[in-house]
Amino acid sequence: MSTFGVIAVVALTIIVLIAMGALLSYLSRTGSEKHADPDAELIEAVNAVLPQTQCAQCGYPGCRPYAQAIIKNDEPINRCPPGGEQTIEQLSTLLGTPVLALDTSCGQQKPEQVAVIKEDICIGCTLCIVACPVDAIVGAAKLMHTVIADECTGCELCIPPCPVDCIDLIQPEQTAASWQWPKPAS
C-alpha cells in the first residue's frame, strides 16, 4: 500500500471519529434537555408517597404542588394531615430527613371518609362541582348533584362553598367487596 493510501485511511478514520464524537455530544445534549429539571424525579417520588387527597390542607393547591414545594422550597414534610404519621415516615426515609410530628396547624388526621349530598336539600348551584379537585361530583345547574363515592377522596373542599349546607362526611360502609379477613390473635 502506498504512503498516500495509508495517510488517506488514517485521515478518514480521524474524520469519522470526530464526526461520531460530535454527533454523540449533540445527542447527549439534546437528550439531557428533556430532563432539564434535576429535581423532577425526586418530586415524582415525593408525589407518589403523598395520599393524593388533593385537600390543600398543606397550604398548596394539591399533592403535586406540595411535593414541588418540599423539594424546591424546603417546605417541612409534616404538613399532610390525611397522610399522617405513615406518610411523614415514608417521606423522611425517602429524603433522609428526620421524622417530625404532624403540624396540627394544617389539620388532624381523620379516618377514611367520603362526602354524601343530601339530595332532597341540594338546590343544584354547581359550587361543589367547581370546588371538587378530583371531579367526583356530578350534576348540572338547577339539578340535583351527587357524589361518586368510589372517586371521592374525602378532601372536604366541597363543604364550605355549599350555600344550603347539604353535604355530609361519612365513613364508608363495609361492603362485601371491601371486606377483609380479620387478623388472627397470635
What residues make contact with another protein under the rule CB under 8 A?
47, 51-54, 62-64, 132-136, 150-151, 153, 174-186
From residue 128, how far is each of 41, 95, 118, 145 by CA, in Å? 34, 36, 13, 9
The whole-angstrom separation of Cα 107 and Cα 101 is 12
Taking the least distance from each CB to another protein, the nearer of 123 and 172 is: 172
Taking the least distance from each CB to another protein, the nearer of 52 and 97 is: 52
Q: What backbone torsions phi and psi does residue 65 show, to the nearest 5 degrees? A: -60, -35
Q: What backbone torsions phi and psi does residue 131 show, to the nearest 5 degrees? A: -75, -30
For the bound state, the minimum distance from the C-beta of residue 69 to another protein, rounded and expressed in Å, comes to: 15
DSSP 8-state class, residue 60: S
The whole-angstrom separation of Cα 149 and Cα 2 is 84
For the bound state, the minimum distance from the C-beta of residue 46 to another protein, rounded and expressed in Å, comes to: 13
For the bound state, the minimum distance from the C-beta of residue 136 to another protein, rounded and expressed in Å, comes to: 8
Taking the least distance from each CB to another protein, the nearer of 66 and 102 is: 66
For the bound state, the minimum distance from the C-beta of residue 185 to another protein, rounded and expressed in Å, comes to: 7
Give 117-174 as a DSSP string.
E-TTT-----HHHHH-TT--EE--TTS--EE-GGG-----TTTTT-TT--EEEEPPPP
Taking the least distance from each CB to another protein, the nearer of 2 and 180 is: 180
Taking the least distance from each CB to another protein, the nearer of 94 and 123 is: 94
For the bound state, the minimum distance from the C-beta of residue 141 to another protein, rounded and expressed in Å, comes to: 16
